[in-house]
Amino acid sequence: MANKDTYFYGLGRRKSATARVRLISGKGQLTVNGKPAEEYFADSKYLLSRLTQPYVVLDVVDKFDVSAVVSGGGHEGQAEAIRLAISKALVLVNEDFKGTLKRADLLSRDSREKERKKFGLKGARKQRQFTKR
């Protein structure tokens, strides 16, 4: 990396959550929407471990600082979006990381979305009970 201002950008999406991540060489600090990740995801240690998964797989823990801006969705979807964005940014850092991240299934976008409600139905698929007589 050339200077202090150089960063690598990654975009991740999951359900209705969108995460934009800047990866900077540093000491491993993770900031989400201006707060430390431990504070933002305070209710779940599981989600914090999901955020650091790309680092653990590549064995580059505490080498990059992350600044994430995330919007939409719930905490789970936001954490998954941040994880994908971090993985994409790490591939920009070093192209050799791509194979390892792909084998760990960290570069694929989970495309499952909420299905829309259809007219004439109670929900996306739920119908009114059929009566013969």
pLDDT recorded at residue 61: 87
Q: Domain coordinates of the chain in residue numbers?
A: 8-103
What does the alpha-carbon distance between residue 51 and residue 65 come to, in Å, rounded to a whole number?
12
Taking only the tens place, the pLDDT of each residue in 77-124 is 999 999 999 999 999 999 999 999 999 999 999 999 999 999 999 999
Q: Do the Cβ atoms of 51 and 30 come closer than 8 Å? A: yes
Q: Do the Cβ atoms of 131 and 33 come closer than 8 Å? A: no
Residue 9, strand partner residues: 22
Backbone angles phi, psi at 57, to 5 degrees: -65, -40
Residue 1: pLDDT over 60:
no
Taking only the tens place, the pLDDT of each residue in 116-133 is 999 999 999 999 999 998
Q: Tell me the CATH number for domain 8-103.
A: 3.30.230.10
What does the alpha-carbon distance between residue 72 and residue 85 come to, in Å, rounded to a whole number?
15
What does the alpha-carbon distance between residue 40 and residue 35 come to, in Å, rounded to a whole number?
6
Taking only the tens place, the pLDDT of each residue in 8-46 is 999 999 999 999 999 998 898 999 999 999 999 998 899
